[in-house]
Amino acid sequence: MLNKINQTAAYLKTMVSYRPETGIILGTGLGHLADEITEKVEIPYEQIPHFPLSTVEGHSGKLIFGKLGGKEVLAMQGRFHYYEGYDMKQVTFPVRVFKAMGVKTLFVSNAAGGMNPDFKVGDIMIITDHINLFPEHPLRGKNHEELGTRFPDMSEAYSPRLIAKANEIAERCGIKVQHGVYVGTSGPTFETPAEYRYFRRIGGDAVGMSTVPEVIVARHGEMEVFAISVITDLGVEGIVEKCSHEDVQKAANAAQPLMTRIMQELVTEC
């Protein structure tokens, strides 16, 4: 794995002169943040050694190097989901490469179903913590000390500093934000009413099928992490409605401008 990571990073370093310290994973329907990146160099995943290929509808797969708010950034447009059949080492490989490229801060976005009864479709939720319910752990197996410690601390997985900054930005821009615990599950099914109820009872505010593996690996590599969800459907007791991939995309697109604004300002300011 170490060789692969280093080979991929070495390849990317020959392709671009950018050396960004800021990484961004653009989740479902939030790809428009990419439109705000200037002086772009785009590299499709299929050209990158050892990169898995993205398959899911609505995700094109490429790395984007460029500038956002004057800062050099490295963004993933299209991520690898566990439900697509990748193993956890593949799902999190790009985060390892980010680290090897010099990325110190990781920004992540995703779509999630809301279980908190105060939430509405279209709300933006700043993730304050997570519950990992994926059936495979991304750090399972031999630990490479070069990549991080065997038993990483997860007491502050989501940077309190960045959360405070995002709160300031949201307030300044008049954007209402929610805060909560993200439950990460494998999918690809949406939840049954009983599952939503269960996730709520164990302390979750929203549930989704991504982010947790990438955040674990980012923290293993001692990156500072900020993550945000757009609430695309509700799994609130008594009002679990039918949900489709299209519903998720539609709600994510509607919230996109606000989410983009927060992320853009946060990347610029931190």
- CB of 247 vs ligand HPA, minimal distance in Å: 8
- Whose Cβ is closer to ligand HPA: residue 20's or residue 27's? 27
Interacting residue ranges for ligand HPA, rule: CB under 6 A:
111-113, 187, 190-191, 207-209, 232-233, 235, 243, 248
- CB of 71 vs ligand HPA, minimal distance in Å: 29
Dist CA 111 CA 93 (whole Å): 21
Name the burial class of residue 172, with classes exposed (0-12), middle (13-18) and buried (19+) by CB atoms within 10 angstroms of its CB: exposed
Taking every pair of Cα atoms in the chain, the longest distance, rounded to a whole number of angstroms, is: 55
**Nearest residue relative to ligand HPA (C-beta):** 113
- What 8-state DSSP symbol labels residue 11? H
- Whose Cβ is closer to ligand HPA: residue 248's or residue 263's? 248
Dist CA 257 CA 128 (whole Å): 22
Instruction: Report whether 112 contacts 125 (CB < 8 A).
Output: yes
Name the burial class of residue 202, with classes exposed (0-12), middle (13-18) and buried (19+) by CB atoms within 10 angstroms of its CB: exposed
- CB of 113 vs ligand HPA, minimal distance in Å: 2
- Whose Cβ is closer to ligand HPA: residue 209's or residue 225's? 209
- CB of 76 vs ligand HPA, minimal distance in Å: 18
Dist CA 154 CA 219 (whole Å): 8
- CB of 251 vs ligand HPA, minimal distance in Å: 9
- CB of 13 vs ligand HPA, minimal distance in Å: 35
- Whose Cβ is closer to ligand HPA: residue 12's or residue 212's? 212
For the CA atoms of the chain, what is the radius of gyration? 17
- Whose Cβ is closer to ligand HPA: residue 12's or residue 209's? 209
